[in-house]
Structure 1
Amino acid sequence: MSAMTHEIPTQEDVVLDGFLALDTPLGFRAELIEGEIVVTPPPLGNHERVVSSVLRQIIAGTATAMDFSGNKGLKVDGGSAARNHVIPDGTFAPEELDLFLDAESWMACDGVALVLEVTSQRAEIDREAKRQSYARSAIPLYLLVDREHGKVTLFSAPEGDDYTEIHTGPFGKQIDLPAPFSTTLDTARFG
């Protein structure tokens, strides 16, 4: 008789399998961030007003035509976890790449030009864990609209676990987006 060997799944594998099998209520978002399953309710109107303002300004003023998704699941590099699964408030990619065509629910972030997060209930996740995951995944630009602190931060030049260039200003101050966007965002309506 020969003995069969079975691989024992790691805790990461068990958490990932459980996460991918979740059936969240309509409108809720489930994300896997640093080994923690985070479920958030549908956003409030002020949150969506900011997302809409950023989208409108980028589409109208950008030098490169962009595609946008407000619900795209991204697989990004985690720190302690092998893979984070996040849903940014906004994902922008050059239209010519057509990244969203035939994309799986959770796609790699190759080709993504900018991710947008507008803080809500658990702002520290946007400020730290997501920022580091986006940097590790080499997403060139991360725009963080921090409603709690009343400021906008553009992170650029990812290197390792973080971004090496940071431009921050209070709501009401314009913020320049570099190429491929080459446009300026008016943040007056973010507050």
Structure 2
Amino acid sequence: MTAVPHEPLTQAEVLLDGFLALDTPEGFRAELIEGEIVVTPPPDGDHEDCIGLIVDQVTRQSRTRMQFAGTKGLRLPSAGPCPDVRVVPDATFAPYDLRLFRGAEAWTPPGGVALVVEVASARPLRDREDKRRCYARGDIPLYLLVDRQSSSLSLFGEPDGDDYRQQCTMPFGKPLPFPEPFAFELETSEFL
């Protein structure tokens, strides 16, 4: 029996294989963003408080009932050499009726996701720019960035290619209007 020669793996395939084989310590989060493996330590209490405030308001006030996931891995299109991007938003919301997260694999496409949320922390540029572009390429309708460094929230909407066409930024303390399917104003005074 003769061995069949295998095609050599590309650098992008080796990177993806290495990423998928990672065994991160409990509480740490690993993501593959534009060809770079990023491992993030567990978030601090203020980070988690911000997420809790958002989840509470979305579940109580949203016009459309929403399903929430706090650690849902998303597989998004890449602009770089890697076949895709693997991110874990701080919060992911989808219309409850879709039951998008039930039975989903660890890394799923973003179809049906209505909103992703990131609370910028140690590397704010990654959330302000890199992830924003990834979410836009994934055609996720809304991206909420809580920027603790600038004490503001930015809601990005209308994805178009590598970015969003709309951006609404409010300082902590001012309400931030959410469009359909949410249709409410996010109260931000508790972020102060």
If the length of structure 2 is used for normalisation, what is the TM-score? 0.97
Partner of 2:106: 105
Query: Which amino acid in 1 is paired with 2:76?
Result: V
Matches within 5 A, 1:59-138: 59-80=59-80, 81-138=82-139
Fraction of identical pairs, as percent: 53
**In the TM superposition, what are the counterparts of 1:43-54 in structure 2 within 5 Å?**
43-54=43-54
Task: Determine helix, strand or coil for the equivalent of 1:71.
Answer: coil
Q: Distance in 2 between matches of 1:22 and 1:175?
A: 38
- 1:1-191 matched pairs, under 5 angstroms: 4-80=4-80, 81-191=82-192
Q: Which runs of 4+ in 1 moved over 4 A?
A: none
Kindly provide the amino acid, as one letter, of the partner of residue 69 in structure 2.
S
**Which amino acid letter does the alignment assign opposite residue 160 of structure 2?**
E
* Distance in 1, Cα, partners of 2:171 & 2:78: 29
Q: CA deviation at 1:119?
A: 0.6
Q: Deviations over 1:78-127 (max 9, x none)?
A: 21132000000000000000000100011110000000000110111101
Instruction: Report the alpha carbon displacement of residue 5 of structure 1 after superposing the two structures with TM.
Output: 3.3
CA RMSD, 1 decimal? 1.2
Q: Structure 2: how far apart are the matches of 1:97 and 1:35?
A: 31
CA distance in 2, matches of 1:39, 1:3: 38
Structure 2: stretches of 5+ with no match in the other structure: none
For residues 155-176 of structure 1, what are the alpha-carbon distances to aligned partners after superposition, in whole Å with 9 as ceiling and x for unaligned?
A: 0000010000000111111001
* Alpha-carbon separation, structure 1, partners of 2:79 and 2:42: 27
Distance 1:173 1:78 in 2: 35
CA positional deviation for 1:2: 7.4
Matched positions, count: 191
SS of alignment partner, residue 102 of structure 2:
coil
Kindly provide the amino acid, as one letter, of the partner of residue 44 in structure 1.
Answer: D
Q: CA deviation at 1:188?
A: 1.1
TM-score by length of 1: 0.97
